[in-house]
Amino acid sequence: MKFPKDFLWGGAIAACQAEGAYQEDGKTLTIPDITPYNKNINRKLTKQVEITLDMIEQNSRDKNDIHYPKRLGIDFYHQYKKDIALFAEMGFKVFRFSIAWSRIYPNGDDEIANEKALTVYDDMINECLIHNMKPLITISHFDMPIVLIKKYGGWQNPYMITLYERYCKTLFERYRNQVEMWIPFNEINMSPKAPEKTLGILKEGREHLEQDIFQALHHQFIAAARVTKMAHEINPNNKIGCMVAYFTSYAHTCRPEDAVQAVDDDQKRNLFFLDVLANGTYPWYMKAYFKKKNIEIKMSEEETKLIEDYTADFIGFSYYSSKVSSKDGKLELTSGNMMNGYKNEFLEASAWGWQIDPLGLRYTLEKLYDRYHKPLFILENGIGAEDKVEDGKVHDEYRIDYLKRHLKEVGKAIDRGVDVWGYTMWGPIDIISSGTSEMSKRYGFIYVDQDDYVQGSKERIRKDSFYWYKQVISSNGENL
């Protein structure tokens, strides 16, 4: 496998799944902080928990932190020096992590940023640089500040654009020349699936939920264009990436209806967001959809021009599994990242039902490169599993196998001419699961000794995959 000599090998985490310290140094509550772990979850089927205002009020008062694992995370907020040193031991060239908006602007609309929080992230970023790791920062990663829901109603309010610009300006100026790769919104296409933690939109009592979601999403599109412009003005070396969770899906049969359904699923779940953020225009098929669903996006001429002029510098995406599209929909369901899909009889699945499809990653890379002709970055890929410690070790051959097969397809895509900047494996250290708030759904090269109720020594243990990834990086992918 010939990976480019400057290929960015690394890993990715999110503040709300790793940091903990949920009220330290002035940080205020976010949607993940009030989302409980439910031991009775059905792992095989994804069920989005609806967040209501009552739930926010009630859970905000609940001080039983161990039932809200993301409040405590793996204490990365205090242990980041040691954890980043472990990433460096593997030879990471890049480390993707997110900054928590509710630390930097605890009240959402503060005039001045929270210096205590800025100093901590200063040190976290410097820790990366000391170890020759490029920081790749996600500016908003599923941790919607609750103050912004209560005061402004979340992203349905265009004033959020101003507040978000203020937040980004602070980051771009403070970390100028230290950070040059930024992702404004994690998996922006998750908004229709999980509007609470992405847009701050609560579903209850809405006349026309889709109208509100797509108008709020439009405000995020505007915000992304504005901060892309700003980032380039503050530092011309800044690269701003857009990001989706790519829901790769195949037609269940060669029946034309299934083929058309697969195209429709791809447009609605994935391409719409990238057509706006990477191509700079609302695509025709979405205008048809809006018309059919009586959705009217309020958009000025100036906004249309802004989106057109300030598109993303690169396209990032997360890829875990693939799905099946079918018109008649009488197939067996299986789980997947934040949404269920139909089972593919030709694929194995993880213990959580996510279907394992390495070739699907190359299928996706080549499709995106062909459509957008922009550099690509795999910002998340990995397998959640119940790892076991035996004699102080974790023999996670299944993780090595998963990653090896996926990386080989990345190598093939690169050999065939696709411009891929890098690969940040999801969850290089065990963290709290996004969808289920489980700790037992482990992704890491590094095991963390704590359970689903955040009980344990928090000791870090290198798994077999830690040593495997280390030699993959040192050989620049030749030892895959």
Q: Give catalytic residues, as residue numbers.
A: 187, 380
322 binds ligand BGP, rule: CB under 6 A: no
452 binds ligand BGP, rule: CB under 6 A: no
Whole-number minimum distance, CB 243 to ligand BGP, in Å? 9
Amino acid at site 168: C
Categorise residue 12: left if φ over 0, alpha if ψ from -120 to 50, beta otherwise. beta
Whole-number minimum distance, CB 190 to ligand BGP, in Å? 6
- Position among 433, 450, 465, 476 found at the interface with ligand BGP (CB under 6 A): 433
Contact between 27 and 106 (Cβ < 8 Å): yes
Contact between 92 and 137 (Cβ < 8 Å): no
Nearer to ligand BGP, 114 or 436 (CB): 436
Nearest to 358 by CA among 452, 265, 248, 253: 248
Token digits of residue 94: 């890049």
- Position among 175, 273, 426, 445 found at the interface with ligand BGP (CB under 6 A): 426
- Position among 380, 396, 409, 452 found at the interface with ligand BGP (CB under 6 A): 380
Q: How far apart are CA 356 and CA 143, in angstroms?
A: 28
Nearer to ligand BGP, 306 or 376 (CB): 376
435 binds ligand BGP, rule: CB under 6 A: yes
* Interstrand relation of 94-98 and 8-12 (parallel, antiparallel or unpaired): parallel
Contact between 220 and 191 (Cβ < 8 Å): yes
Nearer to ligand BGP, 113 or 190 (CB): 190
**Interface with ligand BGP in residues 12-31 (CB under 6 A):** 14, 17
Helix, strand, coil abundance in the chain, percent, nearest 5: 45, 15, 40
C-beta neighbour count of 166 within 10 angstroms? 16
441 binds ligand BGP, rule: CB under 6 A: yes
460 binds ligand BGP, rule: CB under 6 A: no
- Position among 20, 106, 145, 384 found at the interface with ligand BGP (CB under 6 A): 384
- Please work out, in degrees rounded to the nearest 5, the angle formed at the alpha carbon of residue 247 by the alpha carbons of 434 and 438: 15
Q: How far apart are CA 56 and CA 104, in angstroms?
A: 21
SS3 state at 398: helix
187 binds ligand BGP, rule: CB under 6 A: yes
Whole-number minimum distance, CB 336 to ligand BGP, in Å? 10
Using CB under 6 A, count the residues that bind ligand BGP. 16
Stretch that binds ligand BGP, among 67-75, 254-262, 427-435, 448-456 (CB under 6 A): 427-435
Which residues in this chain contact ligand BGP in the complex, by CB under 6 A?
14, 17, 186-187, 245, 318, 337-338, 380, 384, 426, 433-436, 441
